[in-house]
């Protein structure tokens, strides 16, 4: 099952997301990634609501985005979010943002989320709900 | 496994994971400073101990494990 752990969303670039040059302002890609990650959570049983109901939050600790091309208003984008198996108490995802019509690559990204309790205390050990999710998803404990 | 073997095994695993010379790992040294840990690498440290030694580490307890000697004690007490 692990090889299929990905989700995708379609995003149509809104005028308000572009900058004076007419391309998507780079900060808006963070929201596109979040959209795809939220969809992943809904599809694969790891939604923010479920994480919260399990007693934890999963804030983003690290993020990298590489921009290969610009996107423009009204363009349809396909944002794919893939779970990257990793050791311990962290959620790692890889992303691609591409033109939904011709597949042209626009950006790639990676995020790492760690866990805190709902009191804001950092949790370095994988919470039970997350271990159970990884068991269900048959996720190997890979580096990363 | 006796205590010396356990210490050697922990030190070897840490040196490999964090790409450091084992000679910098001394019992009284501060773990975070020696391994230059941030939150992400602390997760890796905990995962290493849990996976290699079968010890479940509680986040609340990890705050009290500041030196390598404390880490050896923590693991030894839970692997007996």
Q: What is the CATH number of the domain that holds A64?
A: 3.10.129.10
How many angstroms separate the CA atoms of B11 and B6, rounded? 9
* Torsions phi, psi for A111 (to 5 deg): -130, 150
Residue A141 pLDDT: 66
- What is residue A71's three-state secondary structure? coil
How many angstroms separate the CA atoms of B34 and A76, rounded? 49
How close is the nearest chain B Cα to the Cα of A86, in Å? 9
Report which of B77, B78, B55, B67 is spatially closest to residue B27, judged by C-alpha positions.
Answer: B67
Domain interval for residue B74: 3-78
How close is the nearest chain B Cα to the Cα of A20, in Å? 37
Q: pLDDT digit string (tens) for B1-60?
A: 788 999 999 999 999 999 999 999 999 999 999 999 999 999 999 999 999 999 988 877
Q: What is the CATH number of the domain that holds B18?
A: 1.10.1200.10
How many angstroms separate the CA atoms of B54 and A113, rounded? 24
Residue A141 included in any domain: no
Residue A92 included in any domain: yes
Report the number of distinct structural domains present in chain B. 1
From chain A, the residues in CB contact with B48 under 8 A are 87
- What is residue A14's three-state secondary structure? coil
Classify residue A74 by burial, with Cβ atoms within 10 Å: 0-12, 13-18, 19+. exposed
Structure tokens at B42: 């602390």
Residue A34 included in any domain: yes
How close is the nearest chain B Cα to the Cα of A24, in Å? 31
Residue A93 pLDDT: 98
Q: How many CB pairs under 8 A join A and B?
A: 48
Report the number of distinct structural domains present in chain A. 1
The model carries a pTM of 0.89
Contact A124 B43 (CB under 8 A): yes
Residue A1 included in any domain: no
Whether the ipTM is more than 0.85: the answer is no
Q: Over 80: is that where the pLDDT of B80 sits?
A: no
Tell the residue number behind the tokens 């992400």, with chain if given.
B40
Q: What is the dihedral angle through the alpha carbons of B3, B4, B9, B12, rounded to the nearest 10 degrees?
A: 140
Contact A124 B62 (CB under 8 A): yes
DSSP state of A12: E
Contact B47 A122 (CB under 8 A): no
Output b/e per residue, A16-25; b: 16+ Cβ within 10 A. ebbeeeebbe
* Torsions phi, psi for A30 (to 5 deg): -60, -40
Domain interval for residue A32: 6-136
Residue A144 included in any domain: no
End-to-end CA distance of chain A: 19
- The answer to whether residue A64 neighbours chain B at the CB level (below 8 Å) is no
Residue A116 included in any domain: yes
Q: What is the mean pLDDT of each run of 10 residues along chain A (144 residues)?
A: 83 97 97 98 96 97 98 98 95 98 98 95 94 89 58
The beta-carbon neighbor of A125 closest among B39, B40, B59 is B59
From chain B, the residues in CB contact with A116 under 8 A are none
How close is the nearest chain A Cα to the Cα of B3, in Å? 24
Residue A142 pLDDT: 60
DSSP B54-68: --PPPHHHHTT--BH
Report which of A138, A112, A128, A14 is spatially closest to residue B40, judged by C-alpha positions.
Answer: A112
Helices (H), A45-91: 48-53
A 10 A CB-CB count for B23 gives 8
Contact A125 B40 (CB under 8 A): no
């Amino acid at each position: 099952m692990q090889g299929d752990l990905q989700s995708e969303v379609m995003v149509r670039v809104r005028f308000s997301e572009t900058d004076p040059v007419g391309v998507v302002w780079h900060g808006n890609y963070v929201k596109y990634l979040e959209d795809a990650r939220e969809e992943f959570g809904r599809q694969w049983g790891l939604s923010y609501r479920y994480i919260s109901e399990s007693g934890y939050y999963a804030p983003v600790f690290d993020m990298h985005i590489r921009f290969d091309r610009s996107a423009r208003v009204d363009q349809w984008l396909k944002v794919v979010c893939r779970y990257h198996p990793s050791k311990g108490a962290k959620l790692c995802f890889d992303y691609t943002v591409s033109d939904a019509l011709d597949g042209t690559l626009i950006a790639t990204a990676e995020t790492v989320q760690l866990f805190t309790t709902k009191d804001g205390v950092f949790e370095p050990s994988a919470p039970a709900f997350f271990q159970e999710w990884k068991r269900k998803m048959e996720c190997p404990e890979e580096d990363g | 496994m006796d205590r010396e073997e356990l210490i050697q095994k922990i030190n070897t695993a840490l040196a490999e994971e964090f790409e450091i010379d084992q000679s910098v790992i001394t019992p009284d040294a501060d773990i975070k400073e020696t391994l230059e840990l941030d939150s992400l690498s602390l997760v890796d440290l905990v995962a290493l101990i849990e996976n290699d030694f079968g010890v479940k580490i509680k986040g609340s307890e990890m705050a009290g494990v500041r030196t390598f000697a404390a880490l050896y004690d923590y693991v030894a007490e839970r692997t007996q």
